[in-house]
Amino acid sequence: MHPIESERLRLRPIEPDLDAAHMLALLNDPGFLRFIGDRDVRSEAQAREYIALRVLHSYALNGFGMYAIERLSDGAWLGNAGLVRRDGLPGPDVGYAVLGQYAGNGYAREAAQAVFTHARDVVGLKDLYGIISPDNLASAAILRRLGMQQRGPIQLPGSEEWVTLFATPGAAAVTG
């Protein structure tokens, strides 16, 4: 897997030892907890395990997953973005999260656009989805800028929470 670059960002594969401390910070960031959820990761050891079980497993199983977002100008670790396979969705979900200290600078939008373009142009995926917390207006705006259309609320299998579904035009319908 090669890095993906945009004007200001590099998205590269996440590595357990290199990225555990950053992942720990992201998974416990107030914005992540509010809009994505608590992954119950409270130590670097748990973060390494999370990366191995969730991120590296996705790379092996799907050929894609989440990538570390680094700022090109100084190498700062900003968050992660990538593609996630989820039960209940017929295609990958474009996901992204930026540490609160970097929010509001367009990094999430730029990273999501880089992932979206890579998924369509390099990986060859046509049907892409996005799921967000219903009150996450910033993410809704990002998905709309990607050309996705809101499809309505759904519940994914195994979840009690309702999320707002977005999809690329013409993407397969989701029942949930």
Picking from 99, 53, 58, 61, the residue whose alpha carbon sits closest to that of residue 82 is: 58
Residue 33 lies in a domain: yes
pLDDT score for 174: 87
For the whole model, what pTM was predicted? 0.95
Tokens found for residue 84:
């996630």
**Which amino acid is located at 19 in the chain?**
D
Domain residues for the domain of 98 are 4-167
Residue 29 lies in a domain: yes
Residue 40 lies in a domain: yes
Q: How many domains does the chain have?
A: 1
Residue 89 lies in a domain: yes
Residue 176 has pLDDT above 70, yes or no: no
Q: Specify the CATH number for the domain of residue 73.
A: 3.40.630.30
pLDDT per residue as tens digits for the range 20-55: 999 999 999 999 999 999 999 999 999 999 999 999
pLDDT score for 14: 98
Q: What is the dihedral angle through the alpha carbons of 35, 39, 45, 51, rounded to the nearest 10 degrees?
A: -80
Residue 49 lies in a domain: yes
Residue 39 lies in a domain: yes
Residue 172 lies in a domain: no
| Angstrom distance (rounded) from CA 100 to CA 30 | 7
Burial 27-53 (b: 16+ CB within 10 A, else e): bebebbeebbeebebeeeebbbebbee
Tokens found for residue 144:
């709309």
Residue 158 lies in a domain: yes
Residue 87 has pLDDT above 80, yes or no: yes
Kindly state the average pLDDT of the residues 152-174.
Answer: 94
